[in-house]
Chains A and B, each alone.
Chain A
Amino acid sequence: MTTDTTTKSAPTGATPGEPVLDARGVTMRFGGLTAVSDVDLTVNAGEIVGLIGPNGAGKTTFFNCLTGLYVPTEGEVRYKGQILPPKSFKVTAAGIARTFQNIRLFANMTVLENVLVGRHTRTKEGLWSALLRGPGFHKAEAASRARAMELLEFVGLAGKADHLARNLPYGEQRKLEIARALASEPGLLLLDEPTAGMNPQETRAAEELIFAIRDKGIAVLVIEHDMRFIMNLCDRVAVLVQGKKLIEGDAATVQSDERVIAAYLGEPLANDPGAAEAAEVEAAEAAAEAAAQTAPAKENDR
């Protein structure tokens, strides 16, 4: 049962309750547009935190601020007490790994190679050791491969290690992206819509996988639109609307909050000015929603 797992005790490894990620007053402006405005968010060790919000609320932009792809205009992001460096590869080295909303695997590399690329920050061998091929090189390479296979085993792709990433079915590509992110031995994993486009079985499998990751002692911050998924999964949920954090709390609180419902469904009208207008608005919203659903790749991911 997936619902039971939320009540599992805190993971081993990290001290529970200690903040892993601490974002304070993060603001991101693009020219005159404020995409993210003064958002505070804390993720504690051993926690799964959800980040939800309507399309265009600034969730992915906020993610990019956390991973160094964007440097926030204002505010600061601390990882385990250290302010994050402004380069995305340094953020990964510090211990934050991420996946992408529209899958960004190295399509023409094999599954194993993809994970090995993820090991980049945790290995040291440079050009010279690659050219000279001393015993250290072979040892490190073998260790990397062993760890990569272990991770593939963990996500259930060990049998497909030699396949090209592009040939994997959609759900397995998502899993591979997670394995690749885990290969950098993160303390915090950021998942950007990990179940987008998945069927219910695959979603449930993803849920199990995320719990398993949490049980390894890795904190998880997840963006998702699938409410059932979020409510099952997350210890805490933060709602982002128009770049501002609306509310933060456990699943039940957020679910019943009127402002959240309003943000998703619109304000109930006080004196029902006209059914026709309401219907029109609804139709327009549905069309916009549909457009956004059919073209998810257009949303800027950087």
Chain B
Amino acid sequence: MTTQTTAATTPDTPTAEAPRGLVGLPESTGRALATAGGVLSVISTFLAWTWTAEFPGDLTVYGYPGGLQVLVLVGGALTALFGLASYGIKGLRWLVPAGADSALKLAALGTFVTAWYTVIAISVQLGGVVNLEPGGFVVAAATLLTLLGALALPFERPEPDPFDPDDTGWEQFRHKARHQAAVIKAAFATGPVKAPARKLPGFAEILVIVAAMAIGLLVFTYGIGTEYDELFIGFLITAGFGFAALFKAGLISRLSVITGKHRNVTLIGAFVAAAAFPFTQSDDQYATIGVYILIFATVALGLNIVVGLAGLLDLGYVAFLGVGAYAAAMVSGSPSSPFDFQVPFWASALIGAAVAMVFGVIIGAPTLRLRGDYLAIVTLGFGEIFRIAVLNMDGTSGPDITNGSNGISSIPNLNILGFDFGQEHTIAGFTIARFANYFLLMLLITLVVVVVFRRSSDSRIGRAWVAIREDETAALAMGINGFRVKLIAFALGATLAGLAGTVQAHVTYTVTPEQYQFAHVVPPNSAFLLAAVVLGGMGTISGPLVGASLLYLIPAKLQFLGDYQLFAFGLALVLLMRYRPEGLIPNRRRQLEFHEETEAPTVLSKAGA
């Protein structure tokens, strides 16, 4: 029982009769309650929750859920779905290969948190519970009942360790607390995958991938389009718990098996879904965020080659983005560029990438002889050297090349084959404005980087990178020219960042040295890039993309954090590194590295890579 306190009696409970839930209700009642509660939550979102439109999102309308209600609707629907699946209904069983119970608990918890967060936010903002309409009370009660019902589901309780009777009270308390934590953890733990997936025909698997991509696009578009802080927080809660629930249900791993089987379809599907994003937007406001996220994510993915595959900690990576951006800006025909000519985009992209590669080799050649921390320090230094050198090449402190702190401004818009990126275009009835144009161009660059990452990692050179990361001495003894292979990784990473920089210069109109610092509140900068890689998952493709999206969206959306933004960011990183050091989307190898004690799947399937 959770209410048990630190009474000094010996624990007499553990004789495991029948498995019980956290809440003392019969199993059948709990299951029915959870399922019905999920349905009730869905219904309640069609009611009015408050009487005034002062609370953002207009929750006053009957029959039309808005704002946070939509999130509760999704959460409730998910809960009801898992509830039904836990009854073993035939069509739904495919969704829950690892059992529906823990997924049901998580979904119920997510719905509960979102709904209560909304209700409390309404009460606090408008000044009292009196501002709630009946619908608000209904949803609060319904989600609470759902949660209680879900927590009544039985689970395997861990055996409590016997404790030393000589312990002091404090030690006994700690002992009990540890056991309680283990029980709660076990309540949400999932069983092993029972039945192997029924063989789906190929087209069905592709349909599953398409559906997953469509859902991904929907979630991303919704997140990017959240208009106020409360909605974004609600979105994070629902999305986080929803994803966790799907993971616990075993659906994510099932999906990754399927995507691993059809890698090209997945790649194309993801690309098409991302390309569809600007067409879902009515104006250019969120395409702006989209293109910045894409630049950030692409550079993070390039860094992932250096850090994630070859294991070279590069703290000055953003300098290569700067090199590419400055190179493109100088040949763009900008009036403040020292060179008075303009080259077409394909040429400036090549120039930017090539210059960045040259810088990568120049910086890499002396530094890559160092290992570990020393390399990190030296790259950090080179990153700052780039910024300060650019700052000083203004004609007074040095040669007039970069126009100093003013940077190179009024970079003209791109014009590829008569397609002016600065103009609005109407394609098949959809209006595509400036940032959406650049979004699509940047997406092409991202695709290039993804393909480069995928192909290089699955090859002789990619294996050599991983071998160097794993054990440099052994790799050398296997005939790998460590320095050369590391230099290739470093230069390749620099090239890809430079390529992204060429687009960035045109998107931002201006390149200044301040954009390329080590740490800054606005990504991309070296610290955030590294954080995106580590947060998302080293050595994976989707990891840095997800990490970069989150790291861009969270500061951009949570304006109320204000000056505490970096503090919250640091805190979140510390917590993440404590509890999930392998990142949100871990590489299978990495996950094994960090969780040695867990059951090790002996066979490493392609899906995890």
In the complex, B462 has a CB within 8 A of chain A:
yes
In the complex, which residue of chain A has the Cβ closest to the Cβ of B476? A88
110-128 of chain A: CB within 8 A of chain B:
110, 113, 116-121, 123, 125-127
Give Cα A140–Cα B590 distance, bound, in whole angstroms: 28
* Cβ-defined contact, A69 with B456, below 8 A: no
In the complex, B479 has a CB within 8 A of chain A:
yes
Inter-chain contacts of B578 with A (CB < 8 A)? none
* Cβ-defined contact, B479 with A127, below 8 A: no
* Chain B residues touching A, range: 35 or more
Of the stretches A99-107, A253-261, A282-290, the one at the interface is: A99-107
In the complex, B340 has a CB within 8 A of chain A:
no
Give Cα A43–Cα B524 distance, bound, in whole angstroms: 58
Inter-chain contacts of B460 with A (CB < 8 A)? 116, 119-120, 123, 125-126, 130, 140-141, 144
Inter-chain contacts of A164 with B (CB < 8 A)? 589, 592, 600, 602, 604
In the complex, B459 has a CB within 8 A of chain A:
yes
* Cβ-defined contact, B473 with A69, below 8 A: yes
* Cβ-defined contact, B592 with A127, below 8 A: no
Of the stretches B3-11, B52-60, B114-122, B480-488, the one at the interface is: B480-488
In the complex, which residue of chain B has the Cβ closest to the Cβ of A113? B463
In the complex, which residue of chain B has the Cβ closest to the Cβ of A129? B459
In the complex, which residue of chain A has the Cβ closest to the Cβ of B605? A162
Give Cα A123–Cα B464 distance, bound, in whole angstroms: 12
* Cβ-defined contact, B602 with A109, below 8 A: no
Partner of B603, one of A104, A118, A163: A163
Cβ distance B43 to chain A, nearest Cβ, rounded Å? 49
446-500 of chain B: CB within 8 A of chain A:
451-452, 455-456, 458-464, 466-467, 470-471, 473-482, 488, 492
In the complex, B159 has a CB within 8 A of chain A:
no
In the complex, B593 has a CB within 8 A of chain A:
yes
Inter-chain contacts of B473 with A (CB < 8 A)? 69, 104, 301-302
Give Cα A266–Cα B488 distance, bound, in whole angstroms: 54
* Cβ-defined contact, A100 with B480, below 8 A: no
Inter-chain contacts of A166 with B (CB < 8 A)? 592, 600
Give Cα A97–Cα B480 distance, bound, in whole angstroms: 12
Give Cα A141–Cα B462 distance, bound, in whole angstroms: 13
* Cβ-defined contact, B480 with A120, below 8 A: yes
* Cβ-defined contact, B600 with A92, below 8 A: no
- Supposing A108-B592, A164-B602 touch, asked if A131 and B456 sit within 8 A by C-beta, the answer is yes
- Supposing A125-B460, A133-B455 touch, asked if A88 and B477 sit within 8 A by C-beta, the answer is yes
Give Cα A116–Cα B476 distance, bound, in whole angstroms: 14
- Supposing A127-B456, A141-B459 touch, asked if A93 and B479 sit within 8 A by C-beta, the answer is yes
Give Cα A89–Cα B476 distance, bound, in whole angstroms: 5
- Supposing A127-B488, A163-B602 touch, asked if A117 and B462 sit within 8 A by C-beta, the answer is no
Cβ distance A105 to chain B, nearest Cβ, rounded Å? 7
* Cβ-defined contact, B492 with A120, below 8 A: no
- Supposing A131-B452, A163-B602 touch, asked if A106 and B470 sit within 8 A by C-beta, the answer is yes
* Cβ-defined contact, A108 with B593, below 8 A: yes
- Supposing A100-B474, A120-B480 touch, asked if A109 and B463 sit within 8 A by C-beta, the answer is yes
* Chain A residues touching B, range: 35 or more
Inter-chain contacts of B463 with A (CB < 8 A)? 109, 113, 116-117, 120
Give Cα A213–Cα B482 distance, bound, in whole angstroms: 28
Cβ distance B526 to chain A, nearest Cβ, rounded Å? 24
Cβ distance A298 to chain B, nearest Cβ, rounded Å? 16
In the complex, which residue of chain A has the Cβ closest to the Cβ of B456? A130
* Cβ-defined contact, A92 with B602, below 8 A: no
Per-residue CB proximity of A150-192 to B under 8 Å, as 1/0?
Answer: 0000000000001110110000000000001100100000000
Give Cα A104–Cα B482 distance, bound, in whole angstroms: 16
In the complex, which residue of chain A has the Cβ closest to the Cβ of B459? A130
Cβ distance B328 to chain A, nearest Cβ, rounded Å? 22
Give Cα A119–Cα B463 distance, bound, in whole angstroms: 10
Partner of A118, one of B455, B456, B462, B478: B478
Give Cα A286–Cα B459 distance, bound, in whole angstroms: 50
In the complex, which residue of chain B has the Cβ closest to the Cβ of A92? B479
Give Cα A181–Cα B474 distance, bound, in whole angstroms: 10
Partner of B482, one of A89, A97, A109: A89
- Supposing A127-B461, A130-B456 touch, asked if A162 and B478 sit within 8 A by C-beta, the answer is no
In the complex, A67 has a CB within 8 A of chain B:
yes
Give Cα A246–Cα B474 distance, bound, in whole angstroms: 31
Which of A69, A89, A93, A163 has most chain B Cβ within 10 Å? A89
Inter-chain contacts of A301 with B (CB < 8 A)? 473
* Cβ-defined contact, A106 with B604, below 8 A: no
Give Cα A117–Cα B478 distance, bound, in whole angstroms: 7
367-396 of chain B: CB within 8 A of chain A:
none
Cβ distance B450 to chain A, nearest Cβ, rounded Å? 12
Cβ distance A137 to chain B, nearest Cβ, rounded Å? 7
In the complex, A98 has a CB within 8 A of chain B:
yes
Partner of B478, one of A108, A120, A129: A120
Per-residue CB proximity of B596-609 to A under 8 Å, as 1/0?
Answer: 00001011110000
Give Cα A126–Cα B459 distance, bound, in whole angstroms: 9
Inter-chain contacts of B471 with A (CB < 8 A)? 104-107
Inter-chain contacts of B592 with A (CB < 8 A)? 108, 164, 166
Give Cα A100–Cα B480 distance, bound, in whole angstroms: 16
- Supposing A106-B470, A108-B470, A167-B600 touch, asked if A117 and B480 sit within 8 A by C-beta, the answer is yes
Partner of A67, one of B467, B477, B605: B477
Which of B451, B463, B481 has most chain A Cβ within 10 Å? B463
Give Cα A167–Cα B461 distance, bound, in whole angstroms: 24
Inter-chain contacts of A113 with B (CB < 8 A)? 463, 466
Give Cα A247–Cα B602 distance, bound, in whole angstroms: 47
Which of A97, A117, A131 has most chain B Cβ within 10 Å? A117
Partner of B461, one of A107, A119, A126, A163: A126
Give Cα A126–Cα B481 distance, bound, in whole angstroms: 12
Inter-chain contacts of A67 with B (CB < 8 A)? 477
* Cβ-defined contact, B488 with A69, below 8 A: no
Inter-chain contacts of B476 with A (CB < 8 A)? 69, 87-89
Inter-chain contacts of A109 with B (CB < 8 A)? 463, 466-467, 470, 589
Cβ distance B311 to chain A, nearest Cβ, rounded Å? 11
* Cβ-defined contact, B467 with A106, below 8 A: yes
Cβ distance B433 to chain A, nearest Cβ, rounded Å? 34
Give Cα A130–Cα B309 distance, bound, in whole angstroms: 15
Inter-chain contacts of B605 with A (CB < 8 A)? 162
Cβ distance A139 to chain B, nearest Cβ, rounded Å? 13
Inter-chain contacts of B603 with A (CB < 8 A)? 162-163
Inter-chain contacts of A118 with B (CB < 8 A)? 478-479
Inter-chain contacts of A93 with B (CB < 8 A)? 479
Cβ distance A217 to chain B, nearest Cβ, rounded Å? 20
Cβ distance B603 to chain A, nearest Cβ, rounded Å? 5
* Cβ-defined contact, A130 with B455, below 8 A: yes
- Supposing A109-B470, A130-B462 touch, asked if A180 and B589 sit within 8 A by C-beta, the answer is no
* Cβ-defined contact, B461 with A105, below 8 A: no
Cβ distance A182 to chain B, nearest Cβ, rounded Å? 11
Give Cα A125–Cα B456 distance, bound, in whole angstroms: 11
Which of B458, B462, B475, B593 has most chain A Cβ within 10 Å? B475
Inter-chain contacts of A144 with B (CB < 8 A)? 460
Inter-chain contacts of A133 with B (CB < 8 A)? 455
* Cβ-defined contact, B466 with A106, below 8 A: yes
Give Cα A167–Cα B593 distance, bound, in whole angstroms: 12
- 16 A-B pairs within 8 Å (CB atoms) are namely A67-B477, A87-B476, A105-B471, A106-B474, A107-B471, A108-B470, A117-B467, A119-B460, A120-B478, A125-B459, A125-B461, A131-B455, A164-B600, A167-B600, A184-B479, A301-B473
List chain A positions with a Cβ less than 8 A from chain B. Answer: 67, 69, 87-89, 92-93, 97-98, 100, 104-110, 113, 116-121, 123, 125-127, 129-131, 133, 137, 140-141, 144, 162-164, 166-167, 180-181, 184, 301-302
Known A-B contacts: A98-B477, A105-B471, A164-B589. Give 8 more (CB < 8 A): A108-B470, A109-B466, A117-B475, A120-B464, A127-B488, A164-B604, A181-B478, A302-B473
By Cβ-Cβ distance, the 10 closest A-B pairs, closest first, are: A121-B479, A130-B459, A92-B479, A104-B474, A108-B589, A106-B470, A117-B467, A88-B476, A162-B603, A167-B602
